[in-house]
Amino acid sequence: MHSILFWAVTVAMTLAVAGLMVAALIRGRMAGASPAAAFDLKVYRDQLAEVERDLARGVIAEEEAARLRTEIGRRVLAADQAMQVKGTAQTGGPARALAAVGLMGAIAAIGFGAYAWLGHPGLGDMPLSARLASAEAMRADRPRQPEAEVRAAAALPPAPQAADPRHAELMVQLRKAMTERPNDLRGQELLARNEAMLGNYGAAARAQGMVVALKGPVATADDLAVQAELMVAAAGGLVTPEAESVLAAALEKDAANGMARYYSGLMFTQTGRFDLAFRFWAPLWQSSTEADPWVAALRAELPDVAWLAGQHRYEMPPLRSAPLPGPDADAIAASRDMSPEDRQQMIRGMVDGLMNRLATEGGTAPEWARLIRALGVLGDTDRAKAIWGEAQERFQGREADLAEVTAAAREAGLIK
């Protein structure tokens, strides 16, 4: 019944629109065809009136007036006949009727064809209440974690075993030890990490669950987010009700936890609540950097989620700059409280990593400045001077960058 009503209304609206367009076209052509003849008729009528006025004033004789009336009358008849012929040509004839029918048919064909291609003729009404109810049903009908893991395991090839026989043997021993000593926190952490490396995500998730349980109240949001991530991986990418509960616990501890926010949004995309997914993902994108592990997925998925959430004008803002690698000012300041040996070892490790990256990939002025400061703390004046000289060459002609590395060189004691 609803389908018949829909098509009846659609056909009526299409015919009405096509009829209005054809009528406007015909009126436009008629209006463009008759103004010249109508103007001539008005002029001739004015001339007749002028003849009568001239006769009354005695300007012309009766014989001249009769001749003028005859001439003007002939012109009036000719103009009237011409206007009628043009009007008939504009409004009648099989060609005009055929063109009008063709236009109406083209409008109907284009409209219905586009709907058949892009629309869903057989789709029933989906009011907001029905869509919300459908999404809630999808969320309630999700498979539980054990069932989802079984399905995922059946759809994927077996997880690879350790390539190193020694590593495989150590894994056997570690699993046995955790069976005998399940309350060994350090052992459970090692088991979770190594099972995940082997692709045994279900076992890794259970080991991480033991880590969370053993830590109790001191378990962090990151601990819970890692557990949820392993559960999702074990379920083949599905956020199950059990994983959702773990994510909720992580967000209770830290509402800004990026991993928990990403997987919470993913859960809502899987249950048709794109509006709620957008509320998780849009702020997450704004607070992320290129170094965050969820950025690639958000870059690919967030535009579609925004569209489906009704945010048709949403544009993803640029990401924040990632924290600079290497030792920062806080790390250098904290190192002053260490023993000289520990401080040297900590800073040297960070410096070597930053120096290798700048040598192979290049970097920004702040990164070069950070390296100069760190070498100054280490007392490695020779290398600090070499880096300072290279930085001056690299940033030559760039006043702002030169000012930054010069300030670092001054702090390192290289210049006064």
pLDDT band at 279 (very low <50, low <70, confident <90, very high): very high
- pLDDT over 90 (residue 264): yes
More confident of the two residues 323 and 270:
270
Predicted local distance difference test score (pLDDT) of residue 292: 86
pLDDT per residue over 240-263, tens digit each? 999 999 999 999 999 999 999 999
Q: What is the largest CA-CA distance in the chain?
A: 138
pLDDT per residue over 46-93, tens digit each? 777 887 887 777 777 788 777 877 877 777 777 667 666 555 555 545
Distance of CA 67 to the CA centre of its chain: 84
pLDDT per residue over 375-407, tens digit each? 877 777 888 888 888 888 888 888 888 888 888
Ordered by start, the domain boundaries in the chain are: 2-118, 142-271, 329-411
Q: What is the dotted CATH code of the domain comprising 142-271?
A: 1.25.40.10
pLDDT per residue over 303-318, tens digit each? 999 999 999 899 999 8
pLDDT per residue over 109-156, tens digit each? 777 777 767 666 665 665 667 777 777 888 888 999 999 999 988 877
- pLDDT over 80 (residue 277): yes
Predicted local distance difference test score (pLDDT) of residue 33: 45
- pLDDT over 70 (residue 329): no
3-class SS letters over the chain: CHHHHHHHHHHHHHHHHHHHHHHHHHHHHHHHHCHHHHHHHHHHHHHHHHHHHHHHHCCCCHHHHHHHHHHHHHHHHHHHHHHHHHHHHHHCCHHHHHHHHHHHHHHHHHHHHHHHHHCCCCCCCCCHHHHHHHHHHHHHCCCCHHHHHHHHHHHCCCCCCCCCHHHHHHHHHHHHHHHHCCCCHHHHHHHHHHHHHCCCHHHHHHHHHHHHHHHHHHCCHHHHHHHHHHHHHHCCCCCCHHHHHHHHHHHHHCCCCHHHHHHHHHHHHHCCCHHHHHHHHHHHHHCCECCCCCHHHHHHHHHHHHHHCCCCCCCCCCCECCCCCCCCHHHHHHHCCCCHHHHHHHHHHHHHHHHHHHHHHCCCHHHHHHHHHHHHHHCCHHHHHHHHHHHHHHCCCCHHHHHHHHHHHHHCCCCC
pLDDT per residue over 80-113, tens digit each? 676 665 555 555 455 666 666 677 777 777 777 7
Residues 6+ apart with CB under 8 A from 328: 370
- pLDDT over 80 (residue 354): no
Contact 362, 379 (CB under 8 A): no
pLDDT per residue over 163-175, tens digit each? 567 878 888 899 9
Distance CA 298, CA 306 (A): 11
